[in-house]
Amino acid sequence: MISSTKNPKIQWVRRLQQSSTARKAENAFVIEGVRLIEEGLNSGWEIQYIFHSDDLSERGKKLLRESIKGGIQVEIVTDNVLKAISLTKTPQGILAVLKMRTISIPEQLDFVLILDQIREPGNLGTILRSASAAGVQAVFLTRGTVDPFSPKVLRAAMGAHFCLPVCSARWAEIKSYFEQYSLHPYLATVGAGDIYYQANFQRPLALILGGEAEGASDAARDIAGTNVHIPMYGGGESLNVSVAAGILLFEIARQREKNQ
């Protein structure tokens, strides 16, 4: 049993939890909780280590047995050590270190999401979760967007990382995808352009969402083919970006399902 927070493995996990630089250097990230670890395991992602306390549910104990059978290194730690490496208020008694991997972008793209300078981790994770549910084929993150493998993003995304290609990309690369797949770029704006449910989302497209504070960058505005907005019928100037994303993504999904 690991009982010291100064243990090298524990220090390593703490660095991965706290630093995007460390995650990139080690090509690894941390997830917490039985459900997320189950999804990572079932999706074929490589689990390097599992750390757990004695206080585990039956579901957690079953996961441990399966992990040990699969050759995953499992370490038992004290409650104090688990609290030191967990970033949740109420740790579930288990966390894992996973190797990063790249999910291939499909050969044919017609539904892409571009996230431009989304800086709030909870928003990014929620958007990724909605994108996966709505059938988005790939998500591209521009410079200035928060690390998609940060702990808060991973918790909010609830496993979307395991099935959805999420790639950091420069605008020149994004433009090349537009040209290669004939994607029409729609930019979500505040009060300008087409009302979202009147827009034609049946053609191959890329939806662009700008950051929470400043909105879309000049590069995003320059590339936009059509602006769309969600009308505000009551008070308030705009919606939270993750809420707006859900509305727009599922309108796109609705239009496409209706016309299949």
Domains of the chain, each with CATH number or no CATH:
8-99 (3.30.1330.30), 111-258 (3.40.1280.10)
Phi, psi of 103 (to 5 degrees): -85, 130
CB 135 within 8 A of CB 228: no
**Each residue's pLDDT tens digit, 195-235:** 999 999 999 999 999 988 778 888 999 988 899 999 998 87
CA atoms within 13 A on the CB side of 129: 17
The pLDDT assigned to 234 comes to 85
DSSP reduced 3-state for 195 = strand
The pLDDT assigned to 235 comes to 74
pLDDT, mean of residues 104-123? 95
Answer whether residue 91 shows pLDDT above 90.
no
**Each residue's pLDDT tens digit, 120-162:** 999 999 999 999 999 999 999 999 999 999 999 999 999 999 9
Percentage of residues in the chain having pLDDT higher than 70: 99
pLDDT band per the 50, 70, 90 thresholds, residue 73: very high
| Alpha carbon 59 to chain centroid, angstroms | 25
Tokens 């969402």 correspond to what residue? 209
The region of weakest confidence among 16-20, 161-165, 207-211, 236-240 is: 236-240
pLDDT higher at 89 or 133: 133
The pLDDT assigned to 27 comes to 97
The pLDDT assigned to 257 comes to 87
Q: What is the dihedral of CA 17, 22, 27, 29, to 10 degrees?
A: 0
**Each residue's pLDDT tens digit, 171-203:** 999 999 999 999 999 999 988 889 999 999 999
Average pLDDT, the chain: 94
pLDDT, mean of residues 36-61? 94
Answer whether residue 86 shows pLDDT above 90.
yes
pLDDT band per the 50, 70, 90 thresholds, residue 260: low
